[in-house]
């Protein structure tokens, strides 16, 4: 019998809006402290962009090894540096792009004067050799999302609509766009707890939903496997997914928008919060929820 009372006792101080837990393919817990309305999932949106990249690779639209100079030939600075010339699509997904500082972050975007964020992103100096240093940055996933959109000829909402969103029951939602109309793949997708939880369940199931392979299984595995070390802990980072304790991997958005895969327990834990103490939230999930699975 599962007992999640210890977590429930902390839910108010952690500002948890809702939580869902599935194990063995069955929903074993659901609690909503607020209405299950759509909320900004912030950087958990990156994991949906990762899914779009994996689907696009499966459709032959792009490759992880494709150099950015070939992926964005008309958007490059006049004299690309050697590190930019070395950068590939893979580097867009691992936060090891080679740029020194984060750009296109939430507090920056309202004040960007340029309309062409693709050129802006590629003009930022690549001070490190790509693949060598983890710097959390919105430029990489944004460019990855733009590349998918250019190759498929439509925005991410349309591209993922029949391929991912509608099969999961996600319809008529919103996703932030840039000044040129590109879906902002690094953030700004709005979902309910239930919708985010279905995404986690899809990944736990290896990308298969109702008998249909929505995302290539090898991409699901690789994107939720440690690809690089990160600057915050020893658990690493995949392709726009964070690693965590107990070999977990998660879609992770600001203020506690999380869908966590616990493969060793065949479980998915999803929460949406207005939380400003990330450590306390993670300690409660890993300390109070995980042992009960």
The tens digit of pLDDT for each residue in 179-229 reads 999 999 999 999 999 999 999 999 999 999 999 999 999 999 999 999 999
pLDDT tens string 13-37: 999 999 999 999 999 999 999 999 9
pLDDT tens string 215-250: 999 999 999 999 999 988 899 999 999 999 999 999
Quick one: pLDDT band at residue 178, thresholds 50, 70, 90? very high
How would DSSP label each residue in 248-261? Answer: EEEEEETTTEEEEE
Superfamily the domain 40-191 falls into: DD-peptidase/beta-lactamase superfamily (3.40.710.10)
**Residue 159 CB partners (closer than 8 Å, separation 6+):** 52, 55, 56, 148, 149, 152
With a cut of 90, say whether residue 154 has pLDDT above it.
Answer: yes
DSSP 64: T
Domain ranges for the chain, please list them.
Answer: 1-37+193-208+221-293, 40-191
**Rounded mean pLDDT of the chain?**
97
Mean pLDDT across 69-84: 97
Helices 45-58, 139-152: crossing angle, 10 deg rounding: 40
How would DSSP label each residue in 141-153? Answer: HHHHHHHHHHHHT
Q: Is the pTM value of this prediction over 0.85?
A: yes
Domains 1-37+193-208+221-293 and 40-191 share a fold: yes
The per-residue pLDDT for 232 is 82
The per-residue pLDDT for 1 is 78
Superfamily the domain 1-37+193-208+221-293 falls into: DD-peptidase/beta-lactamase superfamily (3.40.710.10)
Q: Where are the alpha helices (DSSP H) in the chain?
A: 5-11, 45-58, 68-71, 82-86, 89-93, 117-123, 139-152, 156-160, 193-204, 217-223, 278-284
């Amino acid at each position: 019998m599962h007992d999640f009372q210890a977590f429930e006792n902390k839910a108010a101080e952690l500002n948890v809006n809702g939580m869902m837990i599935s194990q063995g393919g069955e929903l074993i817990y659901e609690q909503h402290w607020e209405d299950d309305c759509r909320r900004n999932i912030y950087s958990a949106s990156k994991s949906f962009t990762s899914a779009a990249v994996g689907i696009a690779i499966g459709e032959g639209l792009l490759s992880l090894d494709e150099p950015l100079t070939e992926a964005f030939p008309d958007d490059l600075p006049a004299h690309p540096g050697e590190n930019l010339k070395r950068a590939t699509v893979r580097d867009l997904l691992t936060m090891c792009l080679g740029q020194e500082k984060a750009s296109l972050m939430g507090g920056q975007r309202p004040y960007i004067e340029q309309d062409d964020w693709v050129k802006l992103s590629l003009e930022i100096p690549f001070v490190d050799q790509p693949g060598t240093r983890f710097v959390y940055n919105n430029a990489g996933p944004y460019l990855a999302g733009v590349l998918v959109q250019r190759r498929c000829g439509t925005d991410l909402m349309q591209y993922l609509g029949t391929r991912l969103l509608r099969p999961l029951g996600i319809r008529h939602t919103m996703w932030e766009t840039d000044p040129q109309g590109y879906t902002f793949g690094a953030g700004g997708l709005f979902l309910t707890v239930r919708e985010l939880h279905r995404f986690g369940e899809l990944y736990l199931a290896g990308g298969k939903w109702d008998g249909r392979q929505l995302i290539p299984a090898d991409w699901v595995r690789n994107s939720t496997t440690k690809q690089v070390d990160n600057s915050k802990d020893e658990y690493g980072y995949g392709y726009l997914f964070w690693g965590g304790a107990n070999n977990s991997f998660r879609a992770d958005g600001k203020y506690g928008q999380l869908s966590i895969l616990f493969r060793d327990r065949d479980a998915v834990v999803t929460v949406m919060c207005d939380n400003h103490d990330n450590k306390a939230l993670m300690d409660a999930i890993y300390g109070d929820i995980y042992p009960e699975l």
